[in-house]
Structure 1
Amino acid sequence: MKKALSTIALAAAVTLTAGAANADVNVYSYRQPFLIQPMFDAFTKETGIKVNVVFAKKGLEERLKQEGANSPADLVFTVDIGRLNKVVEEELVQPVNSDILNANVPESLRDPEGKWFALTTRARIVYASKDRVKPGEIASYEDLADPKWKGRICTRPGNHGYNLALISSMIAHHGEEKTEEWLKGVKANLARKPQGNDRAQVKAIWQGECDLAIGNTYYMGKMLADEEQYAWASSVNMVFPNQADRGTHVNISGVALTKHAPNKQEAIQLMEFLTENLAQKMYAEQNYEYPVKPGVEWSGLLQSWGAFKADSLNLAEVAKNRAAASKLVDKVGFNE
């Protein structure tokens, strides 16, 4: 039923957008509308260009393939470098050469050929129990494999996109052999079978089931804003790994211009708008994420977490290792 409803919703939206005026921009999005609509409204107010959004939890790549040159979609919005790289690999997008985008988005956060651009970043950090982990006791991703943490780590499944990106970055820095050893070490230290989402891991720390968890930074903001989950968030410290060397791994939300974008000029205009100061500040504050444009002020909450050094490795390099990372997860039986 859900699948049928999703198909109907998409079909209705495509019928609507296909007949829209050329001054419209049509977006296919894996990001929920309420997260991005405020920025679209600001864009429309400034330019007069309307933004139509089709939201889905999955299947947008398949739809783009089916629609081909007749697709009404101009832009694809998604989270995780893996998903962005997928639309590139499947040749569903086209490069954008924009001085504004290249100036606003650091080189490490955009495709070398201009086929995708980051809009916000989130760091994949370690949540550590305030009561059972001393400050400075864990300082790197590599430390997670230390036998001292045996039975003390919680995480979501290893084959989830967020964890695959982290493992992919480990491969980029250490090679497959050393990353396999590391992954075996982390598995040996798990307190339970990988399960749930990032917030569920922090809840497990609060309940005393584990002492460390791997999660994205923006979940702290979401937990602090939730009456029930506030206690979970208050039970942990945020540790930004590898500050003494390469920096903390970051992932992104991003955008790509579709291969057959019917409103290319307007679509690029929206992409550029979303990397400028106003939208960057709005986007980051709305989602508890970090702006990609250098110099844009972080929200007060993010500032309270402290500045940190981010890994400057180009995420395109991370994406190249995704298949190898997935194989390692299976090879070591991480989820078993």
Structure 2
Amino acid sequence: MTFRIKISILAAALISMSPAQAQDNVLNLYSARHYQTDEILYSNFTNQTGIRINRIEADDAALMERLRTEGKNSPADVILLVDAARLWRAQVEGMFQPVKSKVLEERIPANLRGGDEGQGAQWFGLSTRARVIVYNKVRVKRDEVATYESLADPVNKGRVCTRSGAHPYMLSLVGAMLERNGEAATEKWAQGMVANFARPPQGGDTDQIKGVASGECGVALVNSYYYARLLRSTKSEDREMMNKVGFVWPNQESSGTHINIAGGAVAKNARQRDAAVKFLEYLASDDAQAYFANGNNEWPVVSSAVVKNPVLQQMGKFKTENVSITAIGKNQVSAQKILDRVGYK
């Protein structure tokens, strides 16, 4: 497997240091965040602290497999993963270590932290994204798709498009529904979803939006930052596409919209533990938090961060569900069993 490795260490600077000094000033970051807009976050951290970042970037599954293979010899200091299901899995597999940090405990809400709080959290949510409903303005009435549950109603037969049922985004949504509604109701909903498919589950979130715009799908589930990214696009084809779709904050009259996180942790065998904690604390700063919103259309987890993203402001405020991110992660196994039973491929 090929990994994209981006190394932010200047050779000349390293030559001038002793091996011990060089090691002390380098943080090894394993990141599943694949957003070019994050580059400025890393360079700002280096400018503030003098600690350079050596980054290995791959998708979540590839990074976790690499960590399994490396074992105790892994050079990773910090791990950034996307989605509660993946963070919970990495925690269960012993890839993280507990962290006691007054800064992180004060700034990041308890429901967005994972692990044994008595020993210190093992991972921290650093940004949030919502699972929203997009619909074709010609084919579908907005009030027909106001809730996640409504997507399983007979009125939406032949309209529904989603990612694979095995994808963590789907597993986390079903995990949240399990926590709120119980197993029987969640399985009945999943059966209704399968009955309403416009096509077999496939593709990513941008593919779902394209399917809705083209009319192949009437309605789809997507993460909010994909929708916002296309709204911000200056490409004429993207603007034309987005004119054909609308979006809904689901379940505003009941449980609230499902949210998920991108999060970070200190690696189990981190050699630069202090620097790793300092990096996570930096990502919880107001400046870094604002950049998650303004640079990548995510929401900060820190309430004092100032968002200056016109598209997020245009999308408006919404009620979020009150479900523990840890519970969502733990429910992924049961969620997968339900989706398998109903044939949600």
TM-score, with length taken from structure 1: 0.92
Of residues 115, 120, 135, the one that matches 2:122 is 115
Q: Which residue of 2 aligns with 1:105?
A: 108
Of residues 63, 66, 70, the one that matches 1:63 is 66
Of residues 96, 101, 109, the one that matches 1:93 is 96
**Cα distance in 2 for residues equivalent to 1:25 and 1:319:** 28
**Cα distance in 2 for residues equivalent to 1:203 and 1:63:** 33
Of residues 13, 19, 24, the one that matches 2:26 is 24
Alignment of 1:18-57 (within 5 A): 20-32=22-34, 34-57=36-59
Contact 1:33/1:53 (CA < 8 Å) preserved in 2? no
Of residues 236, 244, 248, the one that matches 2:257 is 248
1:112 deviates by: 4.4
Q: Which residue of 2 aligns with 1:75?
A: 78
Distance 1:12 1:291, change over 3 A: closer
* 1:134-184 deviation per Cα after TM superposition (whole angstroms, max 9, x unaligned): 343332111111111111111121111101110111111111111110000
Amino acid of the structure 1 residue aligned with 2:34: Q
**Cα distance in 2 for residues equivalent to 1:46 and 1:310:** 34
In structure 2, the residue corresponding to 1:94 is in which secondary structure?
coil
In structure 1, the residue corresponding to 2:114 is in which secondary structure?
coil
Percentage of matched positions with identical amino acids: 39
Q: Which residue of 2 aligns with 1:314?
A: 324
Name the Cα RMSD after superposition. Answer: 2.2
Distance 1:68 1:135, change over 3 A: closer
Q: Work out whether 1:271 is the aligned partner of 2:274.
A: no
1:295 deviates by: 3.0
In structure 2, the residue corresponding to 1:244 is in which secondary structure?
coil
1:33 deviates by: 6.0
Distance 1:98 1:12, change over 3 A: closer
1:234 deviates by: 2.1
Q: Which residue of 1 aligns with 2:160?
A: 153
**Cα distance in 2 for residues equivalent to 1:97 and 1:246:** 32
**Cα distance in 2 for residues equivalent to 1:32 and 1:80:** 14
Q: Which residue of 2 aligns with 1:177?
A: 184
**Cα distance in 1 for residues equivalent to 2:54 and 2:199:** 43
Range 205-214 or range 251-260, more displaced: 205-214
Unaligned 5+ segments in structure 1 are none
Unaligned 5+ segments in structure 2 are none
Contact 2:139/2:215 (CA < 8 Å) preserved in 1? no
Contact 2:144/2:155 (CA < 8 Å) preserved in 1? no
Q: Aligned pair count?
A: 329
